[in-house]
Amino acid sequence: MAAIARPLPRSGGVSWTSAIPYAVLLLFTLPILILYGWLIYGSFFPSMQGLRPVGGFTLENWRFLWAPETVEALRFKPPIIPLTINTFIFALSTALVVLLISSMAGYALSRIRFPGRRTFLGGVLLLHSFPSVTLLIATFIILRQLRLYDQLVGVILVKTAFELPFGVWIMKGFFDNVSWDLEMAALVDGASRLRTWWQVVMPLVKPGLLALGLLAFVSGWNEFLLPFVFMPSGTQQTLSVVLRAILNEGRFVDYGLLTAVGLYYVAPILLVFFFAQDRLMKVYAGGVKG
Amino acid sequence: MARTGTLQLEREEQAPSWWRTNATAMLFMGPAAILVIVFFFVPVLLTLGMSFTDIATATGLSGWQWIGTANYEQIFRGSFTGLIVRNTVIYVLLVLTFNVLVGLGVALLTVHVRDQVGGFFRAVWLLPRISPSVVYALMWTWAAAPPPFGIINEFVAPFGVAPRFWMNTDPWMFILFLNGFVGASLGMLIFTSAIESIPEDLFRAARVDGANAWQIVRRITVPLIRWPILFVLVYQSMSLLASYEYILLTTNGGPGLYITEVWSLWAFHTALQSYAGNLEIGLGAAMAAILVLVGVAVSAFLLRAFRFNDLVSEPRVEIT
Amino acid sequence: MDKYTLSGRVAREGLRLSRRRFLVSTGALVAATACSTAPTGQQQGGGQAAPAGTVKLAAWTIGPDAPSYYRRDNLVAAAATLNKELEKDGTKVELEATFESGGSWDDYKQKFVLAAEAKQAPDIVVAGHEDMAPWAAAGYIVELDPLIKKYDSKFKDVIPTLWDAMKLKDKTYAIPQDTEARPLYYRKDLLAKLGWSKDKIDGLPDAVKKGDFAWSDVVSTAKEAIAKGIVDPASGWYHRPSRGHDFYSWYYANGGEMQDKASGKLVLVPSALEKFYQVHYAAVKVDKITPEQFMGLPGKQWNETVTAGKVLFYNAGTWTWKDWQSTYKVPEQALWDNVGFTLVPAAQRGGKPFTLSHPLVYMVTASSKSQELALRLIANATTPELNSQHSVTSAHLAILTTQEKDPTYQKDKFLLATSYMLGYTTFIPNHPKYGAYDEVLFRFLTAVEQGQVTPKQAADSAVSELRTQLRDELIVR
């Protein structure tokens, strides 16, 4: 499939021109490769001046994992391990709630005729690129009324709502792809809609659920603005908020430590990415495509 | 939901069918609908309402007054408004151009090389998008740091460029690259799948006619994927209009007089950040409200341009 | 498929069942997430669920400079002494105090305002004195006069002039936590290279005090040092690289005023404002003693450059003296050998030199259920011993007259050598709209240094912008 834009096979060996696209691609991509490479490399040296490490290889920067009390920059910060657990709980809860709610709505939008369906679909598309992050104060007032300000569950709900348009649209796409036949059979046999959905259709979209779940998890793991504004003082702060606080501490700027903490924070994402990149890419493409 | 449905059914004999037919749909749609109402519609209404008040730190959420359109007047008369509109336009256009051109370039190139290699590069381009914004912003901030720390200086030195503190001396170039590398992946993925779905015969025929690679791209590929391109343009401009997180984490609107302050960041700063005291929540709400109106207009155009009716009536939705 | 060969009736039951099961499981999920957050809800506000007689108090403090951690630790120490006093009443205070090292004022204030609106504010908050104006107007903090009167023996040694900065329309809303001065530092070794005698170098603070050494002399000395290659180009004068109140010393020095004493309204003096911008414009663009694109330089780089002795004159708060020792590892003796400090020189010879102080304060919040205990805690933290401990650790100046005789304080040469500056100091105003005022003045300052506008344009635009924003809360003189 991907062969379409390729030049016709040539009779003689490899021409130098066929190397051009590789070279151009590499050149374009180099900044990203260098940035990430540098992050990894820099975390094992006391400090970096440009690409040159200052001092020899060391694991000192990682001592925030086993001897956090010796790290001056973290002295008044919540300990890293509980922060990691908080971030994980936040990401996982967001992913689960997003999955549940979007697969329900996606199923209804794909299968059931009901008044308001078109409006909702249009609305979902519209909300997809909605400037919700500029409505933070209004969202704060709502959370305050619900007594969910500075509560993990409040931030999870807001995050879920923000992820929902994407999730619903994706899940609708996956359900659209499932053939009617099995479902029909179940319904004709008298199974309820809910039961059919849960027991017959959901297993068929497992790959989709997995992909959307991963995406929602990644998005929750990375989230900065929502916990920053809505959950600032709780004991359940997340890594992003604390990392930003350390970053702001311009005076220390212990580059080595910060690269290590940064890499620690991004590492789970990199892992997810290496094991599931194909799946993620399909959903990203599909998300806007339908 | 279901419970209400049955109850209703028993009481009102006149309109049983509506509840009976829609109970299941309501059940399925309920949670999503509630979240959308609570976290999208109500905030919009609240924001519109607040934009006509003088809510600020000093008034609290209880001691405020209606002040009519004074906030909007202040925005339109303010000395910085023109500058910030200009910044926002520059920001959206610059980053959008970068996103689409680079996205298209990478998509074309990755389908042009061996499959595994193409997949690898596409994966690398996805990295910025899925990394925490805080870490990604940190990497760029340091790459652009003044000598002797930053790496950008090392790469441009051979070309005779004097070392400098890029984030301050060339803030727009910095913002362009920072955001450009994040956003390019969206276009890349959509264009890749669009290009891959073009029937190969077209290319074969063109090659038989002696077209070179550039002509094929210009005359065949690009015209055939013009809808995805338009989609990415509109969608991405909308996202850019509303996004400010990466700027907040790096230049934070500076240096200097709002040099990189864009509208959404301005609204955020006005409503939520104050070095010396007073959060101007009403004014910030007016700024946000204007953005919402622009957003709705752009989205309406999006729905129109992409023949929304076709999208929702078909069981399987395609954009091409 | 066999599973579904059920009769319609059974399926209908199945529907009921699965709906119920579904609702239950959804509820459980939400409950589970709620549970994982439950502890926070309880720790805020204090009071509930504690054993009888125990009062929970919460306090937020911030550096942002790391050595200021005694802002928190002094409250902790005060809790111990307070508990001794309370023993006979059977009351016990449990204090939960946080200290934000690094961090930014913007974030900290945003957090406080949102928490106060959600009625989840701590009992005590440490912030700049100017924050009292909007916070008092919004009802987030309470007037302290009655309580101060009740415990006045504990506050009688507060330096009287400081109370001015604690008041808003004659009501007291805050207790001073510390104060400081913002001197002009100079490199003695570089001046010596310029040919200055030791007497002349050591006599510089006095010359400034008398008005013999004015701002124009700073500029010409800096230019000379650059011309002679003693410092690099544009390394004659470094001002603060980020937002801050230090800059207004130059506004005051040029005849500026910020607040009308009688009405409490904000004041702008356009001529002083233009001169204030002119000073910074000239430094960057004309005399080239300050680098281009200077604002926004990372603090680390700023401090490493000045501690390396590469800059002749530089402005920073007194607290940086300690920061240079603790964070940048400069031995104290090296600082004394090479670095001097003086007031910000007068605009013209014969004029008056200036500095600016920005006392940090304790405030008691309206959402506190134990305001009196909160104030007593603050009172117990306001002792010569504790405040001196904070002063010497963080190089902040005394707020109590009794601190001067405190053995700890007396041992600190630097504090003793800078305390005279408080006689020349100025404050920023307490006014609910000061945030907007500061925002505009600072934005135009950065614009002037970037060369976006001339000093005249900046002053004119700032005045007209503030007229739009502040309306009758602004007096232009």
The secondary structure of B297-317 as a DSSP string is HHHHHHHHHTTHHHHHHSSS-
**If you average pLDDT over every residue of chain A, what do you get?**
81
pLDDT at A253: 59
How does pLDDT run across C265-320, given as a tens digit for each residue? 999 999 999 999 999 999 999 999 998 888 877 777 888 899 998 999 999 999 89
In the block, which residue shows the tokens 């051109």? Answer: B101
Residues B291, B267: Cα–Cα separation, whole Å: 9
Residue of B nearest to A120 (CA): B33
pLDDT at C292: 85
C174 has a pLDDT exceeding 50: yes
Of C41, C115, C303, the CB nearest to A233: C115
Output the six-digit token pair for C339: 């670095």
Residue of A nearest to B200 (CA): A4
Output the six-digit token pair for A219: 């998005």
Nearest CA-CA distance, residue B254 and chain C, Å:
8
Residue of A nearest to C327 (CA): A252
From chain A, the residues in CB contact with B316 under 8 A are: 176-177
- B256: pLDDT confidence band, cut at 50, 70 and 90? low
B214 contacts chain A (CB < 8 A): no
In the block, which residue shows the tokens 């909300």? Answer: A127
Residue of A nearest to B198 (CA): A4
C 7-26: CB under 8 A from B: 19, 26
A81 contacts chain C (CB < 8 A): no
Q: When comparing pLDDT for C27 and C414, which is higher?
A: C414
3-class SS at A198? helix
From chain A, the residues in CB contact with B191 under 8 A are: none
- Over residues C194-218, the mean pLDDT reads 91
C329 contacts chain A (CB < 8 A): no
Please, are residues A189 and C5 in contact by the beta-carbon 8 Å criterion? yes
Q: State CA C199 to chain mean position distance.
A: 35
pLDDT at C272: 93
Q: Is C456 exposed, middle or buried (0-12, 13-18, 19+ CB in 10 A)?
A: middle
C378 has a pLDDT exceeding 90: yes
pLDDT at B319: 27
pLDDT at A130: 72
Least confident of A95-99, B49-53, B147-151, C259-263: B147-151
Report DSSP state, residue B131.
S
From chain B, the residues in CB contact with C452 under 8 A are: 256-257
Least confident of B61-65, C157-161, C399-403: B61-65
- Over residues C60-74, the mean pLDDT reads 86
C 273-302: CB under 8 A from A: 298-300
- A18: pLDDT confidence band, cut at 50, 70 and 90? confident
Mutate to test the interface with A, among C5, C7, C26, C33 (most CBs of A within 10 A): C33
3-class SS at A282? helix
Nearest to B137 by CA among A240, A41, A86: A240
Q: How far apart are the first and last CA of chain C?
A: 88
pLDDT at C239: 93
Cα distances from A13 to residues A18, A24, B122, B151, C340, in angstroms, run 11, 21, 27, 39, 75
pLDDT at C456: 94
Nearest CA-CA distance, residue A92 and chain C, Å:
10
Q: When comparing pLDDT for C375 and A191, which is higher?
A: C375
Residues C244, C182: Cα–Cα separation, whole Å: 11
Cα distances from B63 to residues B58, C34, C117, C138, C174, in angstroms, run 8, 32, 12, 7, 22
- B96: pLDDT confidence band, cut at 50, 70 and 90? very high
- Over residues C199-216, the mean pLDDT reads 91
Q: Report the 3 state secondary structure along chain C.
A: CHHHCCCHHHHHHHHHHHHHHHHHHHHHHHHHHHHCCHHHHHHCCCCCCCCCCEEEEEEEEECCCHHHHHHHHHHHHHHHHHHHHHHHHCCEEEEEEEEECCCCHHHHHHHHHHHHHCCCCCCEEEEEHHHHHHHHHCCCECCCHHHHHHCHHHCCCECHHHHHHCEECCEECCEEEEECCCCEEEEHHHHHHCCCCHHHHHCHHHHHHHCCCCHHHHHHHHHHHHHCCCCCCCCCEECCCCCCCCCHHHHHHCCCCCECCCCCCEEECHHHHHHHHHHHHHHHHHCCCCCCCCCCCCHHHHHHHHHCCCCCEEECCCCHHHHHHHCCCCCHHHHHHHEEEECECCCCCCCCCEEECCCEEEEEECCCCCHHHHHHHHHHHCCHHHHHHHHHHHCCECCEHHHHHCHHHHCCHHHHHHHHHHHHEECCCCCCCHHHHHHHHHHHHHHHHCCCCCHHHHHHHHHHHHHHHHHHHEEEC
Nearest to C377 by CA among C123, C90, C163, C49: C123
Q: Which chains are adjacent to chain B, needing at least 3 Cβ pairs under 8 Å? A: A, C
Nearest CA-CA distance, residue B209 and chain C, Å:
56
- Over residues A90-105, the mean pLDDT reads 94
From chain C, the residues in CB contact with B74 under 8 A are: 468-469
Of B79, B145, B259, the CB nearest to C464: B79
Q: What count of other Cβ atoms lies within 10 Å of the Cβ of residue C143?
A: 16
State the angle between helix axes of B226-242 and B263-272 in degrees (0 to 180), rounded to the nearest 10: 20
Residues C158, C382: Cα–Cα separation, whole Å: 9
- Over residues B263-281, the mean pLDDT reads 84
- Alpha helices by DSSP H, listed for B217-307, are 222-224, 226-242, 245-249, 263-272, 281-305
Cα distances from C137 to residues B56, B141, C366, in angstroms, run 10, 39, 12
Nearest CA-CA distance, residue B5 and chain A, Å:
14
How does pLDDT run across A201-229, given as a tens digit for each residue? 888 888 888 888 988 998 899 998 899 88
- A250: pLDDT confidence band, cut at 50, 70 and 90? low
Mutate to test the interface with A, among B29, B185, B308 (most CBs of A within 10 A): B29
DSSP string over A119-144 = HHHHHHHHHTT--GGGGHHHHHHHHH
**If you average pLDDT over every residue of chain B, what do you get?**
81
- B-C contacts (CB, under 8 Å): 124
How does pLDDT run across A124-177, given as a tens digit for each residue? 777 776 777 778 889 999 999 898 888 889 999 999 999 898 888 888 888 888
- A16: pLDDT confidence band, cut at 50, 70 and 90? low
Q: State CA A251 to chain mean position distance.
A: 31
How does pLDDT run across C118-155, given as a tens digit for each residue? 888 999 999 999 999 989 988 899 999 999 999 988 88
C470 has a pLDDT exceeding 80: yes
C34 has a pLDDT exceeding 70: no
From the DSSP assignment, how many helices (H) and strands (E) are in chain A? Answer: 13, 2
Residue type, B237: S
pLDDT at C140: 92
How does pLDDT run across C47-61, given as a tens digit for each residue? 444 456 888 899 999
Residues C120, B32: Cα–Cα separation, whole Å: 30
Of C26, C130, C449, the CB nearest to B276: C130
- Over residues C153-176, the mean pLDDT reads 89
Q: What count of other Cβ atoms lies within 10 Å of the Cβ of residue B197?
A: 14
Mutate to test the interface with C, among B57, B72, B84 (most CBs of C within 10 A): B57
Mutate to test the interface with C, among A152, A248, A251 (most CBs of C within 10 A): A251
- C22: pLDDT confidence band, cut at 50, 70 and 90? very low
**If you average pLDDT over every residue of chain C, what do you get?**
84
From chain A, the residues in CB contact with B43 under 8 A are: 132, 135, 138-139, 142
A281 has a pLDDT exceeding 80: no
- C46: pLDDT confidence band, cut at 50, 70 and 90? very low
Q: What is the pTM of this model?
A: 0.83
- Over residues B71-83, the mean pLDDT reads 86
Q: B316 vs A255: CB contact, 8 Å cut-off?
A: no
pLDDT at B308: 58
Nearest CA-CA distance, residue C39 and chain A, Å:
8
Q: State CA A84 to chain mean position distance.
A: 16
A266 contacts chain B (CB < 8 A): yes
How does pLDDT run across B103-142, given as a tens digit for each residue? 999 988 888 788 888 888 888 888 888 889 888 988 888 8
Residues C474, C477: Cα–Cα separation, whole Å: 10
Residue of A nearest to C102 (CA): A249
Q: Which chains are adjacent to chain A, needing at least 3 Cβ pairs under 8 Å? A: B, C
pLDDT at A200: 85
Residues C235, C301: Cα–Cα separation, whole Å: 13
- Over residues C248-271, the mean pLDDT reads 91
Residue of B nearest to A21 (CA): B109
- Over residues A4-12, the mean pLDDT reads 43
A247 has a pLDDT exceeding 90: no
B225 has a pLDDT exceeding 90: no
In the block, which residue shows the tokens 């976290």? Answer: B39
pLDDT at B17: 67
A 172-191: CB under 8 A from C: 185-186, 189-191
C 165-224: CB under 8 A from B: none
B 247-286: CB under 8 A from C: 251, 254-259, 272-280
Residues C111, C140: Cα–Cα separation, whole Å: 13
- C160: pLDDT confidence band, cut at 50, 70 and 90? confident
Residue type, A151: Q
B121 contacts chain C (CB < 8 A): no
pLDDT at A288: 42
Please, are residues B256 and B26 in contact by the beta-carbon 8 Å criterion? no
C449 contacts chain B (CB < 8 A): yes
Residues C386, C103: Cα–Cα separation, whole Å: 24
Taken in order C414, C420, C426, C430, the sign of the CA dihedral is positive
Phi-psi region of B258 (alpha: psi -120 to 50; beta: other; left: phi over 0): left
A89 has a pLDDT exceeding 50: yes
Q: A25 vs B128: CB contact, 8 Å cut-off?
A: no
pLDDT at C153: 87
Q: Which chains are adjacent to chain C, needing at least 3 Cβ pairs under 8 Å? A: A, B
pLDDT at C213: 92
Of C7, C18, C66, the CB nearest to A195: C18
pLDDT at A254: 67
The ipTM of this complex is 0.83
- Over residues C334-343, the mean pLDDT reads 92
Nearest to A173 by CA among A215, A199, A205: A205
C 140-159: CB under 8 A from B: 140
Residues B313, B164: Cα–Cα separation, whole Å: 56
Output the six-digit token pair for C277: 């911008």
